[in-house]
Chains A and B, each alone.
Chain A
Amino acid sequence: MTSGTAISAQRTTPLDVAAVRQDFPILRQRVHGKPLVYLDNAATTQKPQAVIDRLVRYYTEDNGNVHRGVHWLSERATDAYEAARDIVRRFLNAAESREIVFVRGTTEAINLVAQTYGRTHVGAGDEIVISTLEHHSNIVPWQLLCEEKGARLRVIPISDSGELDLDAYQKLLGDRTRLVSVVHVSNALGTINPVDEIIRLAHRRGIPVLVDGAQAVAHMKVDVQALGCDFYALSGHKMLGPTGIGVLYATSSLLEAMPPYQSGGDMIRSVTFEQTLFNTLPYKFEAGTPDISGAIVLGTAIGYLTQVGLDRIAAHEHELLEYGTDALSRIPGVRLMGTAKQKAGILSFVVDGVHPHDIGTILDREGVAIRTGHHCCQPLMHRLAVPATARASLALYNTRDEIDALAAALGNVREVFA
């Protein structure tokens, strides 16, 4: 984590990982007769009991449609839904709740921006800047937009350690740049990008910046106003919440000026067959019945994260990252990919002579869940000249013992492929 978080974390008590683990019922399971060691948190995180309970309670006590009923349940559901929006606002330190748009996830948030802001602001000959580290969901929507408009996608290169080349970035920014869209924390390598600097440089030229925060929000404090970003995208399921819910943060001035994304119920003020007046923010961007329970439960997940404390979580994960980096570096034949100075809890690696897919299968038999493959980052894999990597990704409930289990299971891999 950044030194700032590490220092402030020292003032608080360290995270009580045993107590945290008690809150996650799924972690008590055994897999193939071994204790589950869940190290695939970048794919999706597990859920605390409070989140699971809130979901059940919503359908047991609160279920009604939002913004359309005068009856008691509809009011209850609406209140809880809007309260969740304000929880997200506070969590990201956005200025106003209407800057929080509920979507399905990071992917939809980026597509929303591409289809609305992008289609109205990007034209032939214009340029969009992304980076080599991007997830496919922050590449393909822009590629499609560029194809449609005759615009050009420019890509910030990285160093071998997985850090963005900021000099090259500055040179990419030009009169035709209409948007910069970069990942906050790389899901494949763990690099924490200097998004504040990236934003500052873009804003000097009046270029708006979208930050893909999918891998950041559950692992470090994020303040969208301090960053000054124009758009911030996140997924609930990667931050202890349910699948199917995510958030697009955008400044109200941008949202006001953007055309709607999808159309239908809830997003309109009045409809005649001649004309439709769109609803106010954020409802203009929330067509149809939203994922009401998902939003409410996301609020519960955020409550859990803030209660444990993001500084504490960041410090805990950083300590584990160092422990894991050390443990894996000691295993002969294991090569870590992504060694940026600023790194979140992601250990991407390859093993000499063993394909990541085989590593994944052998580890699974030891109860150790990791991800193997290209991590939806094929251009990055190409840059690193590997077809795939194995990736262990950490969360607040992971322990040193689990890192030891990972290292021991990697010993088995070497035994099988000796």
Chain B
Amino acid sequence: MMSDLQELYQEVILDHNRRPRNFRALDDARKAEGYNPLCGDRLTVYLRVDDGVIKEATFQGSGCAISKASASLMTESVKGKTVAEAEALFERFHRTVTASPDAPVEDLGKLSVLAGVRQFPVRVKCATLAWYALRAAAEARGDVVSTE
């Protein structure tokens, strides 16, 4: 197996794909759906926001390993953050997965495992799908956000 594939499909990612965390719906929560028409990935992100703070983040849906693992890791990492902090984290995450392959990897905690996506530009949409849905849910738009 080649090393960039190993970097993409790290054990942590495969684990989150197999056993996604916070993989459930939330009643009475803000929600938004992310849809990638290219591959049919479809995720719904649910948020319980209290006083501008994300108390709970969950998701449901189907998708490839990258989109599922990214969604799973995202729900873990935004819990307890303010909506503004989550948005800032998304921006840093987006920068990381779209950086040139030899740029240094910013420390994003757990999310750093997704840095391997930068070697696979066509997979950036998979990694960011849940984040776009999170943004829409936080804004309580409740609509479908599409990657196209």
Contact A412 B1 (CB under 8 A): yes
- Interface residue A398 (Cβ < 8 Å from any Cβ of B): no
- Interface residue B5 (Cβ < 8 Å from any Cβ of A): yes
- Interface residue A357 (Cβ < 8 Å from any Cβ of B): yes
- Interface residue A372 (Cβ < 8 Å from any Cβ of B): yes
Contact A32 B2 (CB under 8 A): yes
By a CB distance below 8 angstroms, the chain B residues around A353 are 18
Contact B9 A357 (CB under 8 A): no
Contact A356 B120 (CB under 8 A): no
Contact B62 A387 (CB under 8 A): yes
- Interface residue A391 (Cβ < 8 Å from any Cβ of B): no
- Interface residue B20 (Cβ < 8 Å from any Cβ of A): no
- Interface residue A128 (Cβ < 8 Å from any Cβ of B): no
Contact A416 B62 (CB under 8 A): no
Which of B2, B39, B41, B62 lies at the interface centre, i.e. has the most chain A CB atoms within 10 A of its CB?
A: B39
Chain A 333-368, CB within 8 Å of chain B: the 1/0 string?
Answer: 000000000000000000001111110011001000
By a CB distance below 8 angstroms, the chain B residues around A279 are none
Pick out which of these stretches binds chain A: B51-59, B63-71, B92-100, B105-113: B63-71
- Interface residue A417 (Cβ < 8 Å from any Cβ of B): yes
Cβ contact of B64, chosen from A355, A378, A415, A416, cutoff 8 A:
A355
Interface of B is mostly: mixed
**Smallest Cβ-Cβ distance to B63: which chain A residue:** A355
For the complex, give the distance between the alpha carbons of A355 and B1 in Å: 18
With A412-B1, A416-B1 known as contacts, the answer to whether A358 contacts B40 (CB < 8 A) is no
Q: How near does chain B come to A350, taking the closest CB pair, in angstroms?
A: 13
Cβ contact of B40, chosen from A361, A365, A381, A416, cutoff 8 A:
A381
By a CB distance below 8 angstroms, the chain A residues around B120 are 361
With A372-B39, A373-B40 known as contacts, the answer to whether A357 contacts B64 (CB < 8 A) is yes
By a CB distance below 8 angstroms, the chain B residues around A362 are 5, 9
By a CB distance below 8 angstroms, the chain B residues around A357 are 39, 41, 63-64, 66, 123, 126
By a CB distance below 8 angstroms, the chain A residues around B42 are 387
Contact B39 A356 (CB under 8 A): yes
By a CB distance below 8 angstroms, the chain A residues around B65 are 354-355, 358, 417
For the side of the interface on B, what is the size category?
20 to 34
For the complex, give the distance between the alpha carbons of A365 and B18 in Å: 23
Q: How near does chain B come to A304, taking the closest CB pair, in angstroms?
A: 32
By a CB distance below 8 angstroms, the chain A residues around B9 are 358, 362, 416-417
For the complex, give the distance between the alpha carbons of A362 and B8 in Å: 10
Cβ contact of A361, chosen from B1, B8, B14, B18, cutoff 8 A:
B8
Q: How near does chain B come to A415, taking the closest CB pair, in angstroms?
A: 7
Contact B123 A387 (CB under 8 A): no
Which of A357, A365, A372, A388 lies at the interface centre, i.e. has the most chain B CB atoms within 10 A of its CB?
A: A357
- Interface residue B38 (Cβ < 8 Å from any Cβ of A): yes
Contact B39 A388 (CB under 8 A): yes
Q: Which of B1-52 contact A (CB under 8 A)?
A: 1-2, 4-5, 8-9, 14, 18, 38-42
- Interface residue A374 (Cβ < 8 Å from any Cβ of B): yes
**Smallest Cβ-Cβ distance to B1: which chain A residue:** A412
Q: Which of B81-129 contact A (CB under 8 A)?
A: 120, 122-123, 126
By a CB distance below 8 angstroms, the chain A residues around B1 are 412, 415-416
Contact A387 B2 (CB under 8 A): no
Cβ contact of A358, chosen from B2, B18, B66, B122, cutoff 8 A:
B66
Contact B14 A374 (CB under 8 A): no
Contact B5 A373 (CB under 8 A): no
For the complex, give the distance between the alpha carbons of A388 and B37 in Å: 11
**Smallest Cβ-Cβ distance to A366: which chain B residue:** B2
**Smallest Cβ-Cβ distance to B5: which chain A residue:** A365
Q: How near does chain A come to B20, taking the closest CB pair, in angstroms?
A: 13
For the complex, give the distance between the alpha carbons of A36 and B39 in Å: 23
By a CB distance below 8 angstroms, the chain B residues around A32 are 2
Cβ contact of A365, chosen from B2, B38, B39, B66, cutoff 8 A:
B2
For the complex, give the distance between the alpha carbons of A372 and B63 in Å: 12
For the complex, give the distance between the alpha carbons of A378 and B42 in Å: 13
For the complex, give the distance between the alpha carbons of A284 and B123 in Å: 45
For the complex, give the distance between the alpha carbons of A358 and B39 in Å: 11
Q: How near does chain B come to A309, taking the closest CB pair, in angstroms?
A: 37
Q: How near does chain A come to B135, taking the closest CB pair, in angstroms?
A: 22
Q: How near does chain A come to B23, taking the closest CB pair, in angstroms?
A: 15
For the complex, give the distance between the alpha carbons of A138 and B39 in Å: 20
For the complex, give the distance between the alpha carbons of A374 and B36 in Å: 11
**Smallest Cβ-Cβ distance to B8: which chain A residue:** A361
For the complex, give the distance between the alpha carbons of A373 and B36 in Å: 11
Contact A361 B39 (CB under 8 A): no
For the complex, give the distance between the alpha carbons of A45 and B134 in Å: 40
* Residues in B lying within 8 Å of A, measured CB to CB: 1-2, 4-5, 8-9, 14, 18, 38-42, 62-66, 120, 122-123, 126
Since A358-B66, A365-B5, A412-B1 are in contact, a sample of 10 more A-B pairs with Cβ atoms closer than 8 Å, ordered by chain A residue number, is A354-B65, A357-B41, A357-B63, A357-B64, A361-B123, A372-B39, A387-B62, A416-B1, A416-B9, A417-B65
* A-B interface, 9 closest residue pairs, ranked by CB to CB distance from nearest: A355-B64, A357-B64, A387-B40, A357-B39, A358-B65, A416-B9, A373-B39, A358-B64, A388-B40
A-B contact pairs, 7 of them (CB 8 A): A355-B63, A355-B65, A357-B123, A358-B64, A361-B120, A373-B39, A387-B41
